[in-house]
Every structure is written in structure tokens, then in C-alpha cells.
Amino acid sequence: MKPFSLSLEWVQGAFGRLGAITCVATAALLFPLFAFAGVQRPCSQPAVFQGAAINSFVLPYRYVGAKPAEEVQAASRELSALVHFEVLFSLLKYGSVGGTDLVATGREPCDVDSVINDVSHGRSPDTLLPGRALIVTWGRLFEQDEQLYLQSYVRFLRRGEEGAKPETVSVKLQAGESSLDLIAALPTQAVAFPPRRISRGDLARVKAEFRRTMIVRSEPNLDAPGRSIDFGPNRVFPYLITETRDGWMKIQPMAEGPAGWVRARVEAGESREEWSLRRWLPELSYIDAIAGFLKLRTDQAGSPEPAIRVRQWVDSGFARFKAAVPEQDAPVAYGLASAVQGFIAFDVDGASGRSEAVRLFAKARELMSDYAAALNLAAVTQPLGAEGPVDAATVDRLGRRLTGALALDPGDAIVLTNLRNVYSLYAAQPAWSPFAPQELSQRVAVVKGMIEKVSPVR
Amino acid sequence: MRMRFSFRDWRVAQIAYPWLVMIFTASAVQAQFADCQPVTPNFSVFLSEPAYTTGTFQDQKQLQQFLERLQFELDQEHDARWVKSPSTDVRFVMCFHRAPRLDGQEFVPSVIETMHTRRVLLEIWGNLEAEDGGKKITARMNYLLVPLKFAANRNERVPPALQRLVYSDPGTASKPDFVELIARPLDIDAFVAAAFGFKLLRERQWDIAHQNLCRAATLLKSIQERSPRGRTGEDIQALRTFVVESAGLAIKNAGVDPKYKKPGLLSLYKPNEPCHGEE
């Protein structure tokens, strides 16, 4: 749980939107230990809990195809509400989190780009603070002959000074008399999970669990009396999570609404026979792992959990996903998982983790061979795994691999920046350059011109 | 008046008959070949009806459902742009009642020309086989790269425009499923990138042609690493060699094109090593 001072900071953010600053002091007195919050609001007005280190947005699971049956239409709404609670609950262990269930208000689907853009730019109380993270989950549903097919997507980011900034690692190589500064980003920060087949029985289960979940009860018990919180899409219902117990969250509304216990984890037990949202949607475990990664990277130390424990959660999240989904069905998800685990080894283990990181980045490259950033990541870190000093041959190989990555995505600003730095090294140490001076000048001009065209990396 | 046939008339009939049969057969094949509407102005991939063995689908309705689901799994529409994957932006179109033969004899020059004009890059169909009560399934899939076929019809030197891949589930899955077996976005994207890159090369868009051709080379290499056997493997190799050569051609042509801004991106590459080790 968070110390009080931090909680107060983000409570002010949440209440500021509601224009009820006086409530802050009251809430602070009543709930000295909250570090978590949730809300349901329309996706046309996205807003984060500004004080939370990690925010989760769940957008509606959109129906694809001809007009769906009423129950399928309802299922798309119910499913996103259940996913919202499940993700929020799984993130509680990371401390300082906020969850928002974004609800479509019109016929148009929620636009993910627009939602992210709204909360990652500007300085209003609805936007992310620099360094804070956001995970966006959404999906689509398709029905056919008593079977449903469901696909989930996830995108994650941390905010920079203006807009989202990519997750990167920096590599400094001593090459002869010069140093070579390189950077590498994750191959992607968005994944489309493979579609899953679900039955009408599963759908009925979603409905039943939704009905049971969307009730605030006096006790953490499904038999306890309660009041529905299945409000319409235009009603904003922000709440604080003041306590958790065995898959239940105790919520306290920040404006109007009922207070009490909400069942957050749809899982009766560990038995394989029992229905579990996490087992049914293994991508939720993947999202949990991504949240752990962001927790490790976020500047805001939301909880005193040591890195080793968070890392175990990341590893177990990916392991649960991999146990349910074979690699050939989800190469990009597997590749990104390798890259994320490589980033953690790189960040947390320092020099001792470099060779493991290099191995994981090579695996990511193998699985995501058409992603320029995956090639860049493997190319830039590969010299760290080699014995001996960085010599002209190593830099030549690096330059060639960067040019190969650029062939796949000429607009990748990070690859361009690395290539510019390699050429700068050649300019400083002409003996290492495979190019004649005139050709090198021409190459520098081309790369600089392209950097100016795309968003520059400084 | 009584008709009389001379020996000469009989010889003419003997020579003409096979030709007439061929012409009528070809016309009949074309007459049965249903048209399919691409999604303009996007580039399209046609998903056509596969042939199938007894027991694969119970009726036409099941076949239609197979195509609808395949389209759902492959066509990401809104979501692909939000996920920002490097895939080429194409629309997958379900072509119900369009069932090409395995040898693709329906794709006569006039059909290909129409498809090419309507920005169709690829047509996918094949043969689905279920054995052992549906426990073991095999799909022999055909991928027709329309811009390559268009070039072949003009006697240009191109590799086989009809590529084939075989997928099989030897009964390991709890419930084998043809859509899950064949919905391999990366394999399809290899052919889409090859077709698109070649089309752009012909349109003298050197930079973007080079990018797509290098991407195709990378993805085709991934297919090769699965070791497709026999003619399939040879055809994939021929296609990969061709896309690498075409990427080199984009570099060479850009160098002599007065309209290409110099020094441009492609001046970083050499025609004999066009994708810098990624080919």
C-alpha cells in the first residue's frame, strides 16, 4: 500500500475533474491507505488517475459482422467490464494503479489512437504525468453458428514530456578512441493476440459473472446483499480501492454511488474444471506481465515491492500465457515477451545480465524478423555479448545490420539515429570506415535528411 | 438437297474438333468463374472457395462459414492501424461461389488484367482434406501473386506466380480447425509484400518498392526455414531470389531516374546486396 502523501496527490487529480476539492480532505481522512482507483466513463472523454503510476484502460470488445444477436451485443459490453475488473485487480499488487472501463456512447467504435492521444498530450488533470504508464486493452467479437470468436489487443506506453515515449535501452560502446552511443527500443508496444474460440456456454458464464460482479455488496460474499453499479455509459463512477481480500476489492465512491465490496477476480478456485476469466483469456496474464515491466520502468516508485518480486510476476505472467498459447500462433507476442524480459535483465542485472539480455533480444529478432526495431535491438546489443574489444569489424557488422533494419522501415527514427552515430564514428576514425570520404559524407547527408523528415530523436 | 462429305471435309473436322472442344471448355470454365468485388481504393486479397474432401464440410453453409471466419481472422481493418504492425494495408475479401481449380486454369489473361487493374494483389484458395473422422487435417494452399502473373502474361521473366504451401495438423490439436491451420498472417504477408513490391517497382516508386521487396525477402526466408519440400521449396526459393533481385533493380533504376531525388535513401544500398544482409 502507498504512503499517505502520494495517495493524496493522485486523489487530488481524480477529484479535480469532479470539481470537488473539498472532498479531498474528507477522503484523505477517511481512507489513509488507498493507492488504487477505478472508474467507468465514456471513451469520448478519457481521463486517467493522474496520481497512479500505472493506469489501465479497457475499451469495449467490438462486434464485427452483421447485426449481432442482442445477447452477443450485451456480451461485448459485459466482457470489457469483467476484463476491467480482472486487469485492475491483477495490477493491485504493483501498487499505485488506476483502472478505467471506457464505454462506447455512440455507434462509432472507441478509437484507440484518439483515446491515447487525449491522455498523453497536454497538461490537464485528465492526462498522464511524464513517466507514468498506461495500458490499453480492447478487442473484437465475431459470432458464427453458436460459436463466438474473440480477439484481444493490448498497447502500452509511458508518457514523455509531450506524448508517448518509446521504451528504450542505451548502449555505450568504446570503439577505439571514440565512444559509440546507441539506443534500442522494444520491437513493438502493441500486440494482437490470436483469436480464440468461445462457446455459448462461455458467453452465458460471462453474463452470469457480470451480473454477480457489478454489484457492490456489504460483505465479500456473493450471497451478501448489494446494489448494482451497472450504470449507463454517460455516468462516470470513480471509486477508490481501500482494501482487498481473496479476490474482492472494497471500493469507496469518490462522488455518488454505493460503497462496499466488489468481486474482482472471476475465479472460484484453481481447479481446471472451474471457469476462470484468466484461464479463458490467457492474454490477461500477458497484460499482467506488461504491467510488471512498466512498474519496473516507471520513475514513480508506487510501492516498495522489490524488483526481484515484480520480475517474478512478469515471468509468471508470460509463462501462464505461453502455457495456453503455442508460439506458432502468437510469434509477435512471444517475441515481445522475449524483448521485455531482455530489457529487465539489461536494466536490473546490470553487467551480469547482459549476455542473457543479448540472448533474449536475438530470440525476439528471430520471432519478429520483419520488425525493424527488433533487428535494431539485436544489432545494437550484440557487441555486448561478445568477448574482447569492439573493433572495426564489429562496427562494420553493426552498420550493415542497421542498414538492413532501415530497409524494412526507413521511417524508424531510432535506427536512423544509430546509423548517424556509426557514420560519425567513421568520420572521427577514418581508418575504421569502409567508405571513401566522399561516400561517407553523402551517407551522412542522406541519414540526416531522413532524421529531419521523421520525428527526431535527440 | 443431300449433304455430301468429302474425305477433305472429314480431315478438316478431325483437326478442328479438338480445338473447338478446348475453346468451349475454356469458355465454360470462365463462365463458371464467379467475379469478386475488391474493396476500392484499398489493395485487396481474395479468399476464394477451396476444394475439399468428403467430411470436411457438411454443406455449402459450412463452407461459407469457413470463409467468413477466415476473413474475420485475417482482416484486422480498424485494429491493425492501432496495433501499428508493419503488415501491408490490404483488405481480405471473401469470394463465395468463386472456386478456382487447383492448377488455376481460370486465370486467363483477361481475368488477370481485370484483377490487376482493380488492385488485387493476391488470390488464395486450395484443397482441404480431413482424415480419420476429422482428427487429421491437411490444407494445400495456393497463392496467386497477381502482379507476377500479369507480368508473366506479357512474357516477362518472373518466377512461378502460383505459389503453394502445405499445412497439416497430424492430430495433435484437441479439435483440429482449418481456419486456425491456414490463417498464418506472416506467410500471407510474405506473398502480399512480394506482390506489392513488384507492382510498385513497375510503377517506378523505388523507395517503397525496395522496402516491400526487402520485407518479402525476410518473410520468405522465415517460410524457407520451415523447410517446405519438393517443388514448393524450389518455387519459394525462386520467388525469394526474384524479390532480392527486384530490390536490387529498384536501387539501380533509382540511380538513373532523373525524377528520383538524389542522394536518396537507396544510395545507402548496393544493387548486389540490396537489403544489407537481411535478404
> Would you list the domain boundaries of chain B?
10-183, 184-279
Closest B-chain CA to A114: B82
- Helical H runs in A121-249? 200-213
Residue A234: pLDDT band with limits 50, 70, 90: low
Name the grid cell of A252.
Answer: 469507496
Closest A-chain CA to B183: A329
Chain-centre distance of CA B147, in angstroms? 9
Chain-centre distance of CA A436, in angstroms? 45
The overall average pLDDT reported for chain A is 82
Chain B interface mutation, best of A370, A416, A438, highest count of B Cβ atoms under 10 Å:
A370
Q: How many domains does chain A have?
A: 1
Residue A311 lies in a domain: no
The verdict on a CB contact (< 8 Å) between A401 and B276 is yes
Kindly report the nearest CA distance between residue B224 and chain A, in angstroms.
Answer: 13
B108/B28 Cα distance (integer angstroms): 13
Query: How distant, in Å, are the alpha carbons of A133, A249, A252, A433, B154 from that of A7?
Result: 17, 17, 14, 55, 72
The verdict on a CB contact (< 8 Å) between B267 and A442 is yes
Taking a C-beta distance cutoff of 8 angstroms, is the pair B225, B244 a contact? Answer: no
Name the grid cell of B124.
Answer: 488464395
Contacts of residue B196 in chain A, CB cutoff 8 Å?
A: none
Residue A182 lies in a domain: no
Q: Which fold has domain B10-183?
A: Rossmann fold (3.40.50)
Name the grid cell of A137.
Answer: 486493452
The closest CB to that of B79, out of A153, A369, A400, belongs to A153
Residue A86 lies in a domain: yes
The closest CB to that of B214, out of A113, A192, A408, belongs to A408
CB neighbour list of residue A203: distance below 8 Å, 6 or more residues apart: A71, A72, A75, A148
Give the tens place of pLDDT for each residue, A203-216. 777 777 777 777 88
Chain-centre distance of CA A353, in angstroms? 23
CB neighbour list of residue A407: distance below 8 Å, 6 or more residues apart: B210, B211, B214, B247, B269, B274, B275, B276, B278
B163/B145 Cα distance (integer angstroms): 8
DSSP string, A3-14: -HHHHHHHHHHH
Residue A41 lies in a domain: yes
The closest CB to that of A190, out of B83, B211, B263, belongs to B83
pLDDT tens for chain B, residues 1 to 279: 455 556 566 666 666 665 655 555 555 555 567 899 998 888 999 999 999 988 788 888 889 889 999 999 898 877 888 888 888 889 999 999 999 999 999 999 999 999 999 999 999 999 999 888 778 899 999 999 999 999 999 999 999 999 999 999 876 666 778 998 998 888 999 999 999 999 999 999 999 999 999 999 999 999 999 877 777 889 999 999 999 999 999 999 999 999 998 889 999 999 999 998 655
A112/A137 Cα distance (integer angstroms): 9
* C-alpha torsion sign, points A19, A24, A30, A33: positive
Structure ipTM: 0.85
Residue A254 has pLDDT above 80, yes or no: no
- Stated pTM of the model: 0.86
Taking a C-beta distance cutoff of 8 angstroms, is the pair A193, A318 a contact? Answer: no
Give the tens place of pLDDT for each residue, A107-143. 677 899 999 999 999 999 999 999 999 999 999 988 8
Helices (H) and strands (E) in chain B, counts: 9, 6
Task: Note the pLDDT of residue A386.
Answer: 82
Residue A162 has pLDDT above 50, yes or no: yes
What is the phi/psi pair of residue A16, to 5°? -55, -35
Name the grid cell of B8.
Answer: 477433305
The closest CB to that of B83, out of A153, A372, A403, belongs to A153
A161 close contact with B: CB closer than 8 A: no
The verdict on a CB contact (< 8 Å) between A188 and B84 is yes
Taking a C-beta distance cutoff of 8 angstroms, is the pair B194, B145 a contact? Answer: yes
Closest B-chain CA to A155: B83
Domain of residue A9, residue span: 4-165+214-275
Kindly report the nearest CA distance between residue A114 and chain B, in angstroms.
Answer: 10
Residue A299: pLDDT band with limits 50, 70, 90: low
